[in-house]
Every structure is written in C-alpha cells, then in structure tokens.
Amino acid sequence: MSWIITKYFITAAVVILVSELAKRSDRLGGLVAALPLVTVLTLVWLYLDNQSPEKIANHAWYTFWYVVPTLPMFLAFPLLLPRLGFWLTLVSCVVITMACFGVFALVMRRFGINLL
C-alpha cells in the first residue's frame, strides 16, 4: 500500500511542479509540460511493478500514436480562449481532440495500426 501512495505522491508532485512553473513563466511551464514526464513515470512504474518488456514497449508505442491527434488542441486553445472563455474553450478542445482522434484512428487503420 505504501508503494501506491508513493507513486501517487510523486506523480502529483510532477503535476504541481508543472503548474507552479507555468505561473512563473509561460515558456518554462510549457516546456516542462511538453516533456513526457507522465509517460516516463508510467514507464518507470510499469518496470518497477515487474511488467513485461513487451507491455512497457507497447505503452510507449501507443503513447506516441495517441499524442499526434492531441496536437491540434494546443493550437485551438489559445485561439478560442479570448472568444469563448475558459470552460467553453476547454470543452471545445476536448471535442476537437476526440474528433481528431477518431479521424486519426481511421486513417492509421489503413496502415495497419489499430488504435481503437
């Protein structure tokens, strides 16, 4: 049980670090947020939890493909925020991301990569 609490604490600390850095510097906060810190932590947690190398490799593989359709959200958010306000922009970006993911998954299926 203490291992799970430790994982939660470290993972939460990373999220808090990013948000605190973003308060102080837009660029530094963005840079640290863009680093795959959660993915790196997940890979470490999987390894320390004795998951197979195949499972760990698959996680990295799918993470790569799932990042691609999220990228338009980062362009849409700053464009929509002044027009729609925070909450409506956030919801709009979730919808945009879901739509992009659906289209991306269909396109990738043609290349033999099944994301759904």
Are 46 and 71 found together in one domain? no
Inside any domain, residue 59: no
Amino acid at site 66: Y
pLDDT digits (tens, 9 = 90+) for 55-100: 999 999 999 999 999 999 999 999 999 999 999 999 999 999 999 9
Question: Is residue 61, in this structure, part of any structural domain at all?
Answer: no
Angle between the 26-34 and 2-24 helix axes, to the nearest 10 degrees? 150
* Position 58 in a domain: no
Comparing 24-33, 44-53, 59-68, 77-86, which segment has the lowest mean pLDDT? 24-33
Measure the CA–CA gap between 110 and 113, rounded to whole angstroms. Answer: 7
Residues 31 and 7 in one domain: yes
Mean pLDDT of 38-65: 93
Given a cut of 80, whether residue 104 has pLDDT beyond it is yes
Number of domains present in the structure of the chain: 2
Domain assignment present for 110: yes
Whether 60 maps to a domain, the answer reads: no
Structural domain range at position 23:
1-51
Domain check: are 13 and 43 in the same one?
Answer: yes
In a domain, 24, yes or no: yes
Handedness of CA 94, 97, 103, 107 (dihedral sign): negative
pLDDT score of 35 more than 80: no
Are 70 and 116 in a shared domain? yes
The percent of residues above 90 in pLDDT, for the chain, comes to 66
Q: What share of the chain is helix, strand, coil (3-state, %, to 5)?
A: 85, 0, 15
